Homo-oligomer: A and B are copies of this chain.
Amino acid sequence: MDTPNKIYLTEEEIPKQWYNIRADMKVKPAPLISPATHKPLTFEELTPVFCDELVRQELDDTTPYIDIPEEVLGFYKMYRPSPVMRAYRLEKELGTPAKIYYKFEGNNTSGSHKLNSAIAQAYYAKKQGLKGVTTETGAGQWGTALSMACAYVGLECKVFMVKCSYEQKIYRREVMRSYGANATSSPSTATKIGQKILAETPNTTGSLGCAISEAVEAAVTQEGYRYVLGSVLGQVLLHQSVIGLETKTALDKYGIKPDIIIGCTGGGSNFGGLIAPYVGEMLRGENFYRLIAVEPTSCPSFTRGKYKYDFCDTGMITPLAKMYTLGSHFIPSPNHAGGLRYHGMSSILSQLYADGVIEAVAVEQKPVFESATLFARAEGILPAPESAHAVHSAVLEALACKDSGEAKTIVFGLSGTGYFDMTAYETFNNGTMDDHVPTDEELAVGFAGIPDVPEDI
């Protein structure tokens, strides 16, 4: 049967439960530990920072399926199910025998998949009777998504936005303001850690790690506030599993089994969500897929990082997470994929990578934008710079199929649109885009900041 251009599920087919990858992992991801005692953090230790229910989800590595609350499902129905698209025109343009599909998460005002976890986190915060939440945002996708979710449930929202994004992406800032959120350029003078970082490096372009420090400080020092995070954590990958579950339901309807599944990775929420049910099958020994995480060469946590316990933030006030990391002090060059500039990687994906379940590749910015433009002209959707990394990797795999004559089925995650990232496209259109691949010496500076934690923790 010929697949349509867009496979849409009905609203009734939106999954009623999220899937928790950890339940099927034989080697569980390492737990968050205290920087002081090196002991796993308990519910009581985590709840001053995070909402109670989200801590429960964070600590749960055994329950495979967790019910999606009715209210969250109601919100999902505003913009979900999202379509699985067949890239017929891109295939033709590339002249490849490969069949290319993409799960498109950009059809909402936040323009990305981030809304899937934002509404869940805002819902639990509201249910707990909190007054507001704080967070950080890199590209602005998470901040926008959280603003929308908070406006919906009626919660205050304070967003620390990485300085280079804050300055590049004024449109994103205004979307957040339109949804009633408060957006601050990070590092800022609003927090002690921000003041300290500004004193030490007044010309910094900021980083996600630094913005996290500020958001956590702002949460724990204000009554009725908690901190929420848009990626990296197990709870976020849990919520984002809705992407993969929908993808699998849609493809299964047409009897389509992917050979290769590709997603871009910053903290890992998009890729982790997309592959969720497929990696579950692999972990249970039922099936095999090539699962490829794509990161920028400017911030190569998987491909050049160390698998170590490290701080999640620059200010070193968060718990330690075991992950592929470039060191919490590593500041990548100010490239245009703001969402992929995080120094570390989801503990779940890190363990899967260490175990050889998933692969990773790093790609450079300019060819990424070449593929983005090719894709936009063929398929009519202008990708986010982050998502364009997955587009580029899919193009390379499709061209490899052209060389080998294999008609592989490639599925990638188009996690968002680039409508708020036109400054990046302007640089590309003007021919002035460059990239900086860190030298071994530059990486060594970041690695030196990784704390010394015994291997047997």
Chain A residues proximal to chain B, CB less than 8 Å: 4-6, 8, 10-11, 75, 77-79, 89, 107-109, 111, 148, 151-152, 170-171, 174-175, 177-180, 373, 376-382, 417, 419-420, 422-423, 425-426, 428-429
Contact = CB atoms under 8 A, between A and B. Distances in A.
A369 to B, nearest CB: 9
B5 A77 contact: yes
A452 to B, nearest CB: 46
B178 A373 contact: yes
Given A171-B419, A419-B419, A109 B373 contact: no
A407 to B, nearest CB: 22
Copies of this chain in its oligomeric complex: 2
Given A6-B77, A8-B8, A419-B419, A175 B382 contact: yes
A179 B108 CA distance: 22
A380 B429 CA distance: 31
B174 A422 contact: yes
B109 A178 contact: no
A109 B380 contact: yes
Given A171-B422, A177-B429, A178-B373, A380 B11 contact: no
A178 B77 contact: no
Contact of A420 (B79, B107, B152, B419): B419
Contacts of A8: 8
A377 B417 contact: no
A415 to B, nearest CB: 16
9 contacts: A5-B78, A6-B11, A109-B417, A151-B377, A152-B378, A175-B419, A177-B429, A178-B429, A419-B419
Contacts of A89: 78, 152
B170 A426 contact: yes
A428 B177 CA distance: 10
Contacts of A152: 89, 377-378, 380
A376 B109 contact: yes
A7 to B, nearest CB: 10
Given A4-B10, A75-B380, 9 more contacts: A78-B379, A109-B380, A148-B377, A151-B377, A174-B429, A177-B429, A178-B382, A178-B425, A419-B420
Contact of A111 (B148, B174, B175, B419): B419
